[in-house]
Amino acid sequence: MGYRSSVRIRLTKKDYERLVKEFEEDKTIQNAGCSNLFRQLDKYVEEQGYTYCENINGNWVDKNVDTVYFGWDYVKWYDGYEDVDFIMDWLVKGDKMPYAFTRIGESMEGDIDMRYNIFDEIFVYFGFDDNSEGV
């Protein structure tokens, strides 16, 4: 059975497509026999013209990009699972890439993990107001 979580991630559409491509081509993922998390999405929304701010040479600049908001409900999101580690490592290594990540554990009380690489809170705030049942 195991402990389950709800996970949501927001990326630019371009970065989402790159993540999925690299995930599907990764030999470690293929050799581990992992199920493809991207074929099991519980939430997938493309958003056009999403605005976030970026500091470019000391000036705050509004960036208007297409984004993808996606995630899973009631998923085993454990460190050490090859597919989970791949996604988390991929997010962290993209230091110039805007992203927002939230994981809420099934106990919900105090088991919340939020990570992001952005400069404008509007990119972070996406919560779970997406009508998902959650965990």
- Bridge partners (DSSP) of residue 11 are 68, 99
Q: Which of 28-32, 49-53, 59-63, 88-92 has the highest mean pLDDT?
A: 88-92
Whether the full predicted model's pTM is greater than 0.95, yes or no, is no
Whether the CB-CB separation of 22 and 90 falls below 8 Å is answered with: yes
Fold of 5-124: Alpha-Beta Plaits (3.30.70)
111-132 mean pLDDT: 60
Compare 98 and 122 and report the one with higher pLDDT.
Answer: 98
Domain boundaries along the sequence of the chain: 5-124
Spatial separation of the C-alpha atoms in residues 82 and 63, rounded to whole Å? 33
26-47 mean pLDDT: 79
Read off the amino acid at residue 103. R
Say whether pLDDT at 98 is over 50. Answer: yes
At CA 24, angle to CA 104 and CA 40, rounded to 5?
A: 40
33-58 mean pLDDT: 76
18-26 mean pLDDT: 90
